[in-house]
């Protein structure tokens, strides 16, 4: 493997370790949200996540978000 390839692997490993540290203590819902959307729910701040469409093995999968209740629309910071 070239030096450039080793450096890239090192950078990716560092990024993965940082993400692992950040995700410690997340609830199952938070982990699932991150798995679906690629970012944490704290980034939404009152907005719905984007509509997502996937096609796997010829099956079209659409994820459309909606609020469960009005109280969930507010921005809740984790402090």
The C-alpha atoms of residue 77 and residue 61 are separated, in whole angstroms, by 31
Q: Which domain holds residue 20?
A: 3-73
Q: Quick one: CA dihedral 7, 25, 30, 58, positive or negative?
A: positive
**pLDDT value at residue 68:** 80
In a domain? residue 79? no
The C-alpha atoms of residue 16 and residue 22 are separated, in whole angstroms, by 10
- Tokens of residue 1, six digits: 């493997």
**pLDDT value at residue 76:** 55
Name the pLDDT band for 79 (thresholds 50, 70, 90): very low
In a domain? residue 31? yes
Chain segment 11-54, per-residue pLDDT in tens: 888 887 887 788 888 888 888 888 888 887 778 777 888 888 98
Number of structural domains in the chain: 1
In a domain? residue 63? yes
């Amino acid at each position: 493997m070239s030096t450039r390839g080793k450096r890239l692997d090192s950078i990716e490993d560092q990024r993965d370790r940082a993400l692992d540290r950040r995700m410690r203590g997340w609830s199952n819902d938070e982990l699932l949200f991150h798995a679906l959307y690629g970012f944490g729910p704290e980034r939404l701040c009152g907005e719905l996540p984007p509509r997502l469409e996937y096609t796997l093995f010829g099956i079209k999968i659409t994820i459309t978000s909606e609020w469960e209740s009005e109280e969930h629309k507010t921005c809740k910071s984790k402090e």
